Structure 1
C-alpha cells in the first residue's frame, strides 16, 4: 500500500542498502507465506474455502510481488530504472491497495451474508456471490490502466525517496484516486464488520447452538478478521499521514505497509487444517469434516 503514500524522487548521492534489503525480504516473505496459505485450499481435498476467500488471498499474495519488480535496480545509485518497467510497477502499486481492501470487503460480505442466511434460514443469490469474487479483479484492472495512462502522460515517475519502488508525483490524480478507493473500501469493511457483530450479538443463543452442531461456526474467525482489519486500518492511517508531508523515515513506513499481506497470512493461514497440510509426519491420521467454517473462511 505504500505506493500510494510515498513521495519524492530525491535520492542524494548514496542509497541506504539495509532498509532496501529488509523491505525486499518482507515483501518476499509475505508472498511466500500467502502462497503457502493458498496452496492447501487450492490443491488439498481436506481444506475447503469459499471462492471469495481464495480471491482475497490471491490478491494479497500478488500485491507484494509488485514491489520486487525493480529489485535489481534498487541498489543502483540512479534516479530510476528503465522507464517502461518503472511505469509498470507504479501502475501495479497504485492498483494494488484498492484491490486488496476491496477483496477483504468482498470476503467479509460473503462471510456475513452466509452467517445471516444460516441464522435466518434465508437463500443467497449465486449471482451476487459470484460478483463478490470478480469485483476485486475488475477494480484492479480499472485502476491499473487508469494509473498507467496518467503516469505515462506526465512522465513523472521515479524511485521513491528510499529507493524502494517506482512512484509518480504525490499530487497526481492517480495517487488521489487510489487513496480514495482504498479509504472508501476500508470504511465499508469496518461497517460490514460492525453489521456482522450486530448479527452475532442479536442471535447469540442461536450462534452458540450452531457451534455445537456439525456446522461448527467458530467465532475465532471473526476475531482474526477484526485484528487483521485493525492492522489494515493502522496502515492506511500511517500512509495518510505521510502523504502530504513526505515525512522523514519513509523507509520504515514502507516496510510496515508492505508487511500488511504478511499479517493476512498470519491471520488466515494459521488455521489447523492449513497448518496440518504441511505436517507430513501426521498425514496418515488426518481426516477432517467439511464444516461451515471451513467452507466459508
Structure 2
C-alpha cells in the first residue's frame, strides 16, 4: 500500500505523540466537566448554542483520538484511517461554524432585550437553525473527503507526525481553511456589532443594571479572545504546510493546534457561576436584589 511506504519513510517521535494525545484527552475531559456541570446544576444557565459550541469541541477531540493506540507500527485499517481523515478535516469547520452561530445568538439576544421594536425572544426555529447549521457544514466536508479518499485510496495515510490520519492532498485543507476564514471574519463582525450595541444602547438604558452590562461584556470579550485562537491555529497550519518543517518542529506545531479544545474549556468554563459550583466550600454570596438576579439570568443565558 502506498500510504504504508510513505508512513515508513520517517520514524515516529513517541514523546510528541504522547503529548499530543494528552492534550486531546485533557481537553476532552475538561470540556465534559464543563458541559456536565452546566447541564446538571440548576444555578447555571446556558443557551442551546453555548452547549452546541462546546460539544463540537468534544467532537473535535474524538476526531483526533480515533486512532489512539494505532499511531505507530502498522497502518490502521483503511476504513478507520479514512474515517479519521473525514472527521479531522471537518473538525475545524464545525467548531468555528458553531462558534459563529453562538455569537449570532448572543448578538440577537443582546439586540432584542429591551428593544423598542417589540421583537420577542429567539424562537424554536431560530435555535434549530443555529444548532443544525454547523453539522451541515461538517457533513459536507466529510462527504468531500470520503469521495476523494475512495476515488484515490493512495492518498489516505498517516500525517507525517504519525499523530492522525489525513489525505496527502492540499484540496481538503484548502476547502476547510476557506470555511474557517469566512466563518471567523463573519464572527468578528458580529462580535464588533455586539460590543458597539452594548456600549451605545445597553449601558445607557435603565432596563439594564451595571452588573448585567459588565457580565455580558465579559462574555463578548471571552468570545473575542477565543475567536483569535482559530486564527492562531490556522496560521500554524499554514506554516506547517508552507514551511514543511520536519521532526520535532512539525510535531510541536501540531501539538500547539491540539491545545485549542482545552483553551475552549478554560475560557468558557471559568465563568463566575461555574466557579461557584466547583468551589462549593465557599459561602454563597448570591444577592437578594431582584434586579441583580435578573441581570445574572440574562448574562448567563449567553
So what's the TM-score if we normalise by structure 2? 0.86
1:184 deviates by: 1.1
2:54 corresponds to 1:57: yes
1:105 deviates by: 0.4
Paired position in structure 2 for 1:28: 25
Paired position in structure 1 for 2:160: 161
Q: Indicate if the aligned counterparts of 1:47 and 1:294 stay in contact, CA closer than 8 A.
A: yes
1:117 deviates by: 0.8
Which runs of structure 2 are paired with 1:1-297 in the superposition (5 Å)?
9-76=6-73, 78=74, 80-121=75-116, 122-126=119-123, 127-155=125-153, 156-171=155-170, 173-203=171-201, 205-206=203-204, 210-212=208-210, 217-248=215-246, 249-281=249-281, 285=284, 289=293, 291-296=297-302
Ranges of 4+ aligned residues in structure 1 off by more than 6 Å: 213-216
1:50 deviates by: 0.3
Shift in alpha-carbon separation, 1:207–1:26, aligned structure 2, 3 A: farther
Pairwise CA RMSD of aligned residues?
A: 2.4
Q: Distance in 2 between matches of 1:41 and 1:219?
A: 20
Shift in alpha-carbon separation, 1:68–1:208, aligned structure 2, 3 A: farther
Q: Indicate if the aligned counterparts of 1:56 and 1:100 stay in contact, CA closer than 8 A.
A: yes
1:269 deviates by: 0.2
1:11 deviates by: 4.3
1:214 deviates by: 6.9
Shift in alpha-carbon separation, 1:286–1:87, aligned structure 2, 3 A: farther
Q: Indicate if the aligned counterparts of 2:195 and 2:217 stay in contact, CA closer than 8 A.
A: no
Which is greater in Rg?
Answer: 2
Deviations 1:24-78 (A, max 9, x none): 00000001111111111212211110000010011112211211111111132x4
Q: Distance in 1 between matches of 2:55 and 2:250?
A: 27
Q: Which moved more, 1:137-146 or 1:201-210?
A: 201-210
Shift in alpha-carbon separation, 1:81–1:267, aligned structure 2, 3 A: same
Segments of 5+ residues of structure 2 without an aligned counterpart are: 288-292
Give the number of aligned pairs: 285
1:204 deviates by: 5.8
Q: Distance in 1 between matches of 2:47 and 2:172?
A: 32
So what's the TM-score if we normalise by structure 1? 0.87
Q: Distance in 2 between matches of 1:265 and 1:213?
A: 24
Deviations 1:160-194 (A, max 9, x none): 111100010132x3332222111111111112112
